[in-house]
Amino acid sequence: MNESTFDEVFALMEASFPVCEIRTYAGQRRLLDLPQYRLIVEKDASGRTIAFLACWEFPVFRFVEHIAVDQGIRGGGIGKKLMEDYIRQSDKPVLLEVEPPSGVLEQRRVGFYERLGFHLHSYPYVQPPLREGQADLPLLIMTYPRLLQEQEFQLFREILYTEVYKVNVPYKS
């Protein structure tokens, strides 16, 4: 990925997520060297990045860490197309994190993923800090195409903690 495209992706990431849900520029850039990490980018006719999906590929599941569409064109189906294309690419479960559906915006996000076939788990989960000095972030896990059994969930959470967040398990907040 060239520098210009990465800069566009990172700018879109900063515009779409609170700072507690993204790494620093350098931290995000370092992920591109990892074989498990991928950025899927959607560009418009002029070559400008308008959407992206950031994901991790593991032997037993796939993890969507971020998905974002340029604010000016949200609601046009690009995010849905990115997710549908991604989940069609393999028969492994797909996981993602969401904020608990306590407000209207959070409920809309959960509903978006449910319409794509994802299921919301009630198992306890926190996202470890992505930047130094941040606190744990209480989130929930959604999975496609089915709910996970608790033992599966524990295994997948352990992989996320050790591979994505680089924390020791069992992880205590």
Encode pLDDT of 130-145 as tens digits.
999 999 999 999 999 9
- The pLDDT value recorded for residue 90 is 84
Strands (DSSP E) found in the chain: 37-43, 49-57, 62-69, 94-98, 119-120, 126-127, 137-138, 140-144
- The pLDDT value recorded for residue 173 is 47
Residue 94 burial by Cβ neighbours in a 10 Å radius (0-12, 13-18, 19+): buried
Residues shown for the chain? 173
Going by their DSSP bridges, the two strands 140-144 and 119-120 should be labelled as: antiparallel
- The pLDDT value recorded for residue 170 is 87
Class of domain 3-164: alpha beta
| CA dist., res. 139 & res. 142, Å (int) | 10
- The pLDDT value recorded for residue 171 is 86
As averages over each run of 10 residues, the pLDDT of the chain (173 residues) reads 95 96 97 97 96 98 98 93 95 96 94 97 95 94 97 97 94 67
- The pLDDT value recorded for residue 147 is 97
| Neighbour tally for 49: CB within 10 Å | 21
Encode pLDDT of 42-55 as tens digits.
999 999 999 999 99
- The pLDDT value recorded for residue 83 is 97
> Which residues make Cβ contacts (< 8 Å) with residue 10, sequence separation at least 6?
25, 28, 29
| Domain locations in the chain as residue ranges | 3-164
| DSSP at 16 | H
Q: Which long-range contacts (CB under 8 A, 24 or more apart) does 84-93 make?
A: 84/116, 85/40, 86/40, 86/53, 86/55, 86/62, 87/116, 87/117, 87/144, 87/145, 90/62, 92/60, 92/61, 92/62, 93/60, 93/61, 93/62, 93/143, 93/144, 93/145, 93/146, 93/148, 93/156
- The pLDDT value recorded for residue 11 is 97
**Percent of the chain at pLDDT above 90?**
94
